[in-house]
């Protein structure tokens, strides 16, 4: 669970404790390489932390997202998936098959700057999920 320890200074600087549950969940997110549902996180983290409960995973994922360590992604139909909040990117999800691709943040950068200049808000941050139909599903 060493990768979770890399985030310990950030949590401590915010005044939070470093709990074994948080470390186990951070470890799973760090090593997943993809977006995981809370259930996926629970099943993977439970292997290393057998006393972990599913409600704890949900609360911890919300906590990590609130503090900028994890990023929720809307996967459609009200489902959230999580990943580590490292590089800024967005997603396009197929409405038919659920396949997804990542979209680099730079493609939306001008839109963000325009929103800031017209609204007066600064440092607008979001993780956008677009929905469409993928090329494979369009063939059928």
Q: What distance lies between CA 121 and its chain's CA centroid?
A: 23
Where b means 16+ CB within 10 Å and e means fewer, 65-91 reads beeebbbbbebeeeebbbbbbeeebbb
119, 111 Cβ separation under 8 angstroms: no
CATH number of 2-84: 1.10.10.10
Q: Residue 81: its pLDDT value, please?
A: 84
* SS3 call for 97: coil
**What are the beta bridge partners of residue 82?**
36, 72
Which part of the chain has CATH 1.10.10.10? 2-84
Identify the CATH homologous superfamily for domain 89-139. Ferric-uptake regulator, C-terminal dimerisarion domain (3.30.1490.190)
**Cut 0.75: pTM above it:** no
Give the contacts of 52 (CB within 8 A, at least 6 positions apart).
Answer: 21, 24, 42, 45, 46
Consecutive H or E run containing 15: none
Q: Summarize the chain as % helix, strand, coil (round to 5).
A: 50, 20, 35
Location of each CATH 3.30.1490.190 domain in the chain: 89-139
Per-residue pLDDT of the chain (140 residues; tens, 9 = 90+): 467 677 788 888 888 988 889 989 999 998 887 788 999 999 999 998 999 999 999 999 999 989 888 888 776 667 788 888 776 778 888 989 888 888 887 888 888 889 889 999 887 766 778 889 999 999 98
* pLDDT in the model for residue 57: 96
């Amino acid at each position: 669970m060493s990768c979770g320890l890399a985030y310990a200074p950030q949590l401590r600087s915010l005044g939070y404790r470093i709990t074994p549950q948080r470390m186990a969940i951070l470890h799973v997110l760090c090593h997943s390489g993809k977006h995981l549902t809370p259930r996926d996180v629970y099943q993977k983290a439970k292997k290393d932390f057998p006393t972990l409960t599913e409600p704890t995973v949900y609360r911890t994922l919300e906590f990590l997202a609130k503090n900028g360590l994890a990023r929720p992604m809307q996967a459609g139909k009200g489902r959230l998936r999580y990943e580590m909040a490292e590089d800024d990117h967005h997603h396009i999800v197929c409405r038919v098959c659920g396949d997804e691709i990542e979209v680099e943040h730079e493609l939306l950068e001008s839109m963000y700057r325009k929103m800031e200049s017209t609204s007066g808000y600064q440092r607008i941050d979001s993780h956008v999920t677009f929905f469409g139909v993928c090329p494979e599903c369009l063939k059928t």
